[in-house]
Structure 1
Amino acid sequence: MELHSQMRPNVLFIAVDDLRPQLGCYGDKVVQSPNIDRLAKLGVLFNRAYCQQAVCSPSRTSLMTGRRPNTTKVWDLKTHFRTTIPDVITLPQYFKNNGYHTQSIGKIYHDPRSAQDSLSWSAPEILVVTAKKGKYVLPDNLLTKSSKAASSEIADVPDNAYIDGKVADQAVATLGKIKDKPFFLAVGFRRPHLPFSAPKKYWDIYDRDKITLPAEREFPTNVPSYAGHNSQELRGYTDIGKNVITDEKVKELLHGYYAAISYTDAQIGKVLDELDRLNLTGNTIVVLWSDHGFHLGEKGLWAKSTNYELDTRVPLIVAAPGKKQGIMSNALVELVDLYPTLADLAGFQIPDNLEGVSFMPLLTQPDMPWKSAAFSQFPRPWMYKGNPNLMGYAMRTERYRYVEWRDFKTAEVRAVELYDHRLDPLELNNVAELPANAVKIKELKQKLHEGWIKAKPIANVPKRL
């Protein structure tokens, strides 16, 4: 990708809901994701990227404002950041203020109409609210009273019978309309968020009989129970409820998740193809990210909303003109870093008060020393009223995941978790209570309390003149 020196780079900003890094380009041997894999060959794939809170609105708010959840005060699905930090300039708003046409198609902020932010965009948002008809096409599912029907759906229909096909069609059409001016086009896909609805041809990619069950499906006994949950998001679907999730149902759900990824991957391919057809790829920064990861029955957990690796680690690919291609970086990066990074790549001054770090240097030197830690958090109980009782603060270093559960009002530490990823990559054994780890706990506790500022790669970031 060559930078056209007289042109400001465009930005194609692709969001995928609930997508964990289970993709071909991340080494997965099951999921078929040829279009995302193609994008990875054009840019830098970040192998250790983390969200700041593993649920839709808090994560997206953090990314889009460049602030962490304790600054945005958005820890739930209802609070709008304009009520807590009303004058904040969002990432697309910053591009708009610098002369870009900014536009949103699909899910970029959280789903409801009340969660949108018109100040971010140059034009009205398109397909930002998911109707039930976009999630389902079969009458049995459309006729249920609740917005949730079956947890998955297979139908022999064209791609644009579902919402993500419609989003891709709109993105393709919009690219043709805005191609002659610098643009920031945000395109948000819903699947593989539940329900796992996808056209039949994507289900047909996979043989359910060959799908393997999670290795460990019991929640660990040496952690506080509130560190996990009862998979309430999945249990809201009519075919799940309070039922025991059988092996057969687990395989059906895994099959659906994989089919939903392949469906969304195909839609992403359509948008990338149009970028190529319009000769825009050489001057466009393409970013693909997910708002958080996802559990698929591991440790008995389904969906997101924990502080664990499977929920906080996300796929992140950045393909930028003049930067490295087909490279993986193992540097610790965070979604809150995307705002300063994209501003940097566009040649803008990075705004003050952002709480992330531009990782633009990693796009030319992917293995350079970088952050010493990434930070996430999650409240308990989830779906709290007023204020939560506890806030779990998690820190991921090169080797460890350290979590403190603190009283929300007093900040008193109620419980601690420690996982050694060299010995326990599945985070099954909390070793915080082992006497041999007392010194390490003290060290990690201090590092967590010092926070993200002390974890920055200060010596490695070029000073802006």
Structure 2
Amino acid sequence: MKTIFKIAIILFTGCSLLANPIKNNKKKDSLKKPNILWIYVEDLNPILSCYGEKINPTPNLDKLAENGVLFNKAFAAAPVCSASRSANITGTMPTTFGIHNHHSSRTVEDAIFLPDGVKTIPEVFKENGYYTFSHGKDDYNFIYNRKKLYNDELGIDFYYTLTGTGDWLSPLSKNQPFFGQIQLEGGKLGLVQVYPKTKEKITPIDRNLVPLPPYYPNVPTLHEDICRQYDAARATDVEVKEILDKLKDKGLLNNTYVFFFSDHGYDGYRHKQFLYDGGLHIPLIVGYFGDDSQIKKQSKRTDLVSGIDIGTTSLALAEIPIPSYMEGKNIFAPNFKRDHIVATRDRCDFTIDRIRAIRTDKFKYIKNYMPNRSYTQPTYRDKRIEYVDTKKMFEAGKLNEIQAKYWLPTKPEEELFDLENDPFEINNLASNPKYRKQLEQHRTLLANWSKKYGDKGEEPQNIYSLKFMYERWGERCVNEEYDVIKNMKVKNKPQVSIKN
């Protein structure tokens, strides 16, 4: 991993595809450009009181929603950190530019560069006069010069675990608009005690109130892990209050669009790294404490939104034209509509798989391209106590049919779920002749998407990425793709030329 600190200074070049900011709105011209702030959290499903979770009060996020728009059907482009974050920061699906494999571009050998002319969201803001910053982890699957993206003084290193609780406020000024990203640990907070910058202690939720989804058995350690997610959400709520208070104290709150969202869902099994709603469904709230006709306050929307829409919407709110290569849309545009969203899962660290999903308003279609590879391939969670305990119950034959599906040696090649009648995605309808029409429709949507945008996941694994993973994870790399690494010495790739 040390090599990443060296290659982070590599630059990718290219000319901007942007025109100057729109100037034809006299009302907007008379006002200062709005600030855009992303409060970007990890591993969190929308288990917030503003989303109807009455057992888990989150008053500060409720207040943000009351001063903005809450999106009930927002979904990540990918169910793992780096692929999702790479998609959001480029406004494209991670498969478009080959930034879909988790923890890519971690060495010079497997470096991935964005195409010439392709700019990230913060770069576009910066080129349009915005001060830009990111406090917390980046986790992008491509090589970039951090100084080209951000003005802040955190340096140019790859931030993997740093949380956004430092001093991001001091450099901000009323004389220059800002685009900022504050990364919070969100669902990774675990058991909640005392949090940075606050003496407030979060009382653990009453464990008797927290439900288990039907695909989870009643394993005490598993239930406790879910309860900690609820606690973490309330701790995050306190951190959000601190951020909003700082903006208010500096006189910036009323001119700042505040986006609150997660990179993907809960990190438990069948959620993170998989394309069920548990891995993809994220909270998304866009708040604005000033007055703005684009923000209908206290509104809740049920139309489909993709994570790749967050960056493009941010540009649109600042009246910056959305570059043509970006696939995201402006969710506040009068004609905004998504008939479906796409989600992708590819290599996650050392575990190789390829899964695609199409989610329409009423149905979810999942295509498993490697059905002979089980859900339980080796992962980072293998030694976690709740995972070990649940696996023991499966091996002892103590799980029911629904709970046991995850632990079977193979996956179905195709899955189709009626989301209105089966929100937990349990009853696979792919082989049901009554749903043949819906199956064909969703197959076509996936094929058309792949044809239009290209799916780099169809390409073979990069041998140097495999080499890096094998050197890091060793015998946990069990997929056949690693055989070439195990059986022969892979020569080091020639060094990439670095030009400033």
- Say if 2:326 is the partner of 1:354: yes
> What's the CA shift for 1:391?
2.0
2:275 to 283, 307, 312: 307
Q: Pick closer, same or farther for the CA change 1:117–1:33 going to 2, 3 Å.
A: same
Matching residue of 1:372: 339
> What's the CA shift for 1:372?
0.5
Q: Is the 1:203–1:255 Cα contact (8 Å) retained in structure 2?
A: no
Q: What is the count of residue pairs matched by the alignment? A: 374
How do 1:444-463 and structure 2 match up within 5 A?
Answer: 444-451=442-449
> What's the CA shift for 1:343?
1.3
Secondary structure (helix, strand or coil) at the match of 1:45 reads: strand
Matching residue of 2:408: none
In the alignment, the residues of structure 2 paired with residue 14 and residue 371 of structure 1 have an alpha-carbon distance, to the nearest angstrom, of 24
Matching residue of 1:83: 112
Matching residue of 1:140: none
Matching residue of 2:349: 383
In the alignment, the residues of structure 1 paired with residue 173 and residue 104 of structure 2 have an alpha-carbon distance, to the nearest angstrom, of 32
- Say if 2:418 is the partner of 1:393: no
In the alignment, the residues of structure 1 paired with residue 160 and residue 445 of structure 2 have an alpha-carbon distance, to the nearest angstrom, of 41
1:284 to 233, 239, 256: 256
In the alignment, the residues of structure 1 paired with residue 242 and residue 318 of structure 2 have an alpha-carbon distance, to the nearest angstrom, of 25
Cα deviations by residue, 1:207-266 (Å, 9 ceiling, x for unpaired) = 234433333326xxxxxxxxxxxxxxxxxxxxxxxxxxx733233222322222111211
Matching residue of 2:135: 105
In the alignment, the residues of structure 1 paired with residue 96 and residue 452 of structure 2 have an alpha-carbon distance, to the nearest angstrom, of 17
In the alignment, the residues of structure 2 paired with residue 257 and residue 302 of structure 1 have an alpha-carbon distance, to the nearest angstrom, of 15
Secondary structure (helix, strand or coil) at the match of 2:273 reads: coil
Q: Is the 2:60–2:240 Cα contact (8 Å) retained in structure 1?
A: yes
2:428 to 430, 455, 463: 430
- Say if 2:167 is the partner of 1:170: yes
- Letter of the 1:334 counterpart: S
* Alignment TM-score, normalising by the size of structure 2: 0.68
Q: Is the 1:373–1:452 Cα contact (8 Å) retained in structure 2?
A: no
In the alignment, the residues of structure 2 paired with residue 427 and residue 303 of structure 1 have an alpha-carbon distance, to the nearest angstrom, of 12
Cα deviations by residue, 1:363-405 (Å, 9 ceiling, x for unpaired) = xxxxx7721001101126x4347xx4x5211011010001112
Q: Is the 2:135–2:183 Cα contact (8 Å) retained in structure 1?
A: yes
Matching residue of 1:443: 441
Q: Pick closer, same or farther for the CA change 1:3–1:261 going to 2, 3 Å.
A: farther
Q: Pick closer, same or farther for the CA change 1:286–1:214 going to 2, 3 Å.
A: same
Matching residue of 2:215: 216
- Letter of the 2:206 counterpart: D
1:317 to 260, 285, 290: 285
Matching residue of 2:63: 38
> What's the CA shift for 1:77?
2.9
Matching residue of 1:199: 194
Q: Is the 1:60–1:110 Cα contact (8 Å) retained in structure 2?
A: yes
Secondary structure (helix, strand or coil) at the match of 1:83 reads: coil
- Letter of the 2:94 counterpart: P
Cα deviations by residue, 1:443-465 (Å, 9 ceiling, x for unpaired) = 2211221228999xxxxxxxxxx
In the alignment, the residues of structure 1 paired with residue 142 and residue 113 of structure 2 have an alpha-carbon distance, to the nearest angstrom, of 18
- Letter of the 1:449 counterpart: A
Q: Pick closer, same or farther for the CA change 1:178–1:86 going to 2, 3 Å.
A: farther
Q: Pick closer, same or farther for the CA change 1:454–1:27 going to 2, 3 Å.
A: farther
Q: Is the 2:104–2:141 Cα contact (8 Å) retained in structure 1?
A: no
> What's the CA shift for 1:196?
4.4
Q: Is the 2:213–2:424 Cα contact (8 Å) retained in structure 1?
A: no
Q: Is the 2:46–2:283 Cα contact (8 Å) retained in structure 1?
A: yes
Matching residue of 2:31: 6
Matching residue of 1:419: 417
> What's the CA shift for 1:279?
2.3
> What's the CA shift for 1:46?
0.8
In the alignment, the residues of structure 2 paired with residue 249 and residue 75 of structure 1 have an alpha-carbon distance, to the nearest angstrom, of 32
Q: Is the 2:134–2:181 Cα contact (8 Å) retained in structure 1?
A: yes
In the alignment, the residues of structure 1 paired with residue 285 and residue 55 of structure 2 have an alpha-carbon distance, to the nearest angstrom, of 20
- Letter of the 1:372 counterpart: D
- Say if 2:47 is the partner of 1:48: no
In the alignment, the residues of structure 2 paired with residue 110 and residue 179 of structure 1 have an alpha-carbon distance, to the nearest angstrom, of 30
- Letter of the 2:427 counterpart: N
Cα deviations by residue, 1:337-366 (Å, 9 ceiling, x for unpaired) = 12221111111121111111111226xxxx
Which structure has the larger Rg over C-alpha atoms?
2
Q: Pick closer, same or farther for the CA change 1:290–1:114 going to 2, 3 Å.
A: same
> What's the CA shift for 1:317?
1.1
Q: Pick closer, same or farther for the CA change 1:17–1:40 going to 2, 3 Å.
A: same
- Letter of the 1:26 counterpart: Y
Unaligned runs of 5+ in 1: 132-162, 219-245, 363-367, 456-465
How do 1:57-136 and structure 2 match up within 5 A?
Answer: 57-80=82-105, 83-85=112-114, 87=116, 88-107=118-137, 109-110=138-139, 117-125=146-154, 129=159
In the alignment, the residues of structure 1 paired with residue 190 and residue 425 of structure 2 have an alpha-carbon distance, to the nearest angstrom, of 27
Cα deviations by residue, 1:67-101 (Å, 9 ceiling, x for unpaired) = 11111312233214972315431101110011111
- Letter of the 2:74 counterpart: A
Q: Is the 2:357–2:367 Cα contact (8 Å) retained in structure 1?
A: yes
* Alignment TM-score, normalising by the size of structure 1: 0.73
> What's the CA shift for 1:168?
3.5
Matching residue of 1:26: 51
Q: Pick closer, same or farther for the CA change 1:305–1:291 going to 2, 3 Å.
A: same
Q: Is the 2:311–2:328 Cα contact (8 Å) retained in structure 1?
A: yes
Cα deviations by residue, 1:280-323 (Å, 9 ceiling, x for unpaired) = 22211111111111265xxxx36500010111111111124502
Secondary structure (helix, strand or coil) at the match of 2:297 reads: coil
- Say if 2:41 is the partner of 1:16: yes
Q: Is the 1:50–1:333 Cα contact (8 Å) retained in structure 2?
A: yes
